[in-house]
Copies of this chain bind each other. A is one copy, B any other.
Amino acid sequence: MAQTKILLAESEIPTHWYNVIADMPNPPAPPLGPDGNPVGPEALQAIFPDALIEQEMSGQRWIEIPEPVREAYKLWRPSPMFRAHRLEAALGTPAKIYYKYEGCSAAGSHKPNTAIPQAYYNKMQGIKRITTETGAGQWGSAIAQAGQMFGIEIKVYMVKVSYQQKPYRRSLIQTWGAEVHASPTDQTAAGRAVLAKDPNSPGSLGIAISEAVEEAATRKDTNYALGSVLNHVLLHQTIIGLEAKKQFEMVGDYPDAIYAPCGGGSNFGGVAFPFLPDRLNGKDIKLVAVEPISCPTLTKGSYAYDFGDVAGMTPMMLMYTLGHDFVPPSIHAGGLRYHGDSPLVSQLYHEGLIEARAVPNLGTFEAGVQFARTEGIVPAPESCHAIKACIDDAMECKKTGQKKTLFFNLSGHGHFDMSAYDKYFSGGIEDYAYPEEAIKDSISRLPKVGK
């Protein structure tokens, strides 16, 4: 029988995360404060524990994973890697397709890889509460579970429209014992200001971030946690790629191309960064960040300093951005509807070390359904983006006869996204054009500082 799953033993959970900064040809550009000067660690201490600030700034190649974090990882890690025999057969491609499955975590995505260490380091610092925001709820549920593990109270500001439309992610957050509020709330100045203008505001991720950061900044026992974009988040996610390297070794194979959906960048960075040193050493490997045509941050954005949130409360970061007030169409892959991108991913893309590709909305669902009908697992809409790009290249191999080894990160299952599949089957999923004018418009409002 041909091997389907490539499994590692618990004892093979990596002992260190990989910090890509150590191998980047150029040092990362620093985040800038409102005065245009680099933000130092002290500015972050109001909302982050020291260990995470240190990781955010560190240039050390390997950073040890604390024992209690590895213990917690054991609930589902190492995650399995699969050879997609059935998908390959259905495509009739000579390419070999592998995928790593991060949906086997309790929260159903890769998010717990960073939620757990974030909760742990906050606990070690004596922090009692963490505030955060969540859109579709993947991050909110992951941090809820992590907080429960380490005895930290979690308060989630969930974008009101998601709170109302996605009650099951909300219930999941509650099942793991966290408080969840529909944002905007009347509990913060930021929330009250929005409600004063529009009592029926549906909320936005930008508003929810402002609320969570405000509460953390003004309470000594409370910190803030973010699920993507920042260096320390990508660092934690490298456990995906590190495991994948071992798994490829086990079967004596190596990928010619790696695909991951890219919103804030933690999913892509997590799987791709551990392979970057090989590329820098001359290995012919393509690292492909896949994004929606409707929110084409890397492929169509500006490489410039911009805010991480809509309201302009965060430090400015040098990244690919569509403008911090750009509002992408309401595609179901909520995790990919971000105007910016991780500064590390952005810099590597800017320097030509990774690639980016934008894929059409409808095509991602077609790919997701084809995947489910062959491999079984129903993928999250975000993951469907990577599948789409991988299938496209596998079909290209069919034309050329090339026996490439293709690998994608199946970052999560779609169990809480079935309404999107429902819409797909009833013909309600549409393609969105590249929103050129809207992007031009929001780009025109980029902050002047540091550009």
State the copy count for this chain: 2
Q: Is A9 an interface residue (CB 8 A)?
A: yes
Please report the C-alpha to C-alpha distance between residue A170 and residue B377 in the assembled complex, in whole angstroms.
Answer: 16
> Scoring A residues 89 to 129 as 1 if CB is less than 8 Å from chain B, else 0, what string do you get?
00000000000000011111000000000000000000000
Known: A5-B74, A104-B104. Contact between A421 and B376, CB under 8 A? no
- B-side contacts of A10, CB under 8 Å: 1, 3-5, 7
Known: A67-B1, A75-B4, A421-B171. Contact between A106 and B148, CB under 8 A? no
Identity of the chain B residue whose Cβ is nearest the Cβ of A144 in the assembled complex? B373
Q: Is A168 an interface residue (CB 8 A)?
A: yes
Identity of the chain B residue whose Cβ is nearest the Cβ of A377 in the assembled complex? B106
Interface size counted on chain A using CB atoms at 8 A: 49
Q: Is A71 an interface residue (CB 8 A)?
A: yes
Q: Is A33 an interface residue (CB 8 A)?
A: no
- B-side contacts of A30, CB under 8 Å: none
CB-based contact B378/A175 at 8 Å: yes
The 8 Å CB contact of A106, one of B11, B175, B378, B416, is B378
CB-based contact A376/B7 at 8 Å: no
Q: Is A23 an interface residue (CB 8 A)?
A: no
CB-based contact A168/B4 at 8 Å: no
- B-side contacts of A375, CB under 8 Å: 75, 106
Q: Is A248 an interface residue (CB 8 A)?
A: no
> Scoring A residues 205 to 232 as 1 if CB is less than 8 Å from chain B, else 0, what string do you get?
0000000000000000000000000000
Q: How far is the CB of A419 from chain B (nearest CB, A)?
A: 7
- B-side contacts of A1, CB under 8 Å: 10-11, 67, 70-71, 74
Selected A-B contacts with CB under 8 Å, 18 pairs: A1-B10, A1-B71, A4-B10, A4-B74, A4-B75, A7-B10, A75-B376, A106-B372, A106-B377, A106-B378, A107-B376, A108-B415, A167-B422, A168-B419, A170-B422, A171-B422, A172-B378, A174-B422
> What are the 4 A-B residue pairs with the smallest beta carbon separation, nearest first?
A106-B376, A168-B418, A415-B415, A4-B74
11 more A-B contacts (CB under 8 A) besides A2-B71, A4-B74, A171-B425?
A1-B10, A1-B11, A4-B71, A5-B74, A75-B376, A104-B104, A106-B375, A167-B419, A174-B422, A174-B425, A176-B372
- Chain A residues within CB distance 8 Å of chain B: 1-5, 7, 9-11, 67, 70-71, 74-76, 82, 86, 104-108, 145, 148-149, 167-168, 170-172, 174-177, 369, 372-373, 375-378, 413, 415-416, 418-419, 421-422, 425
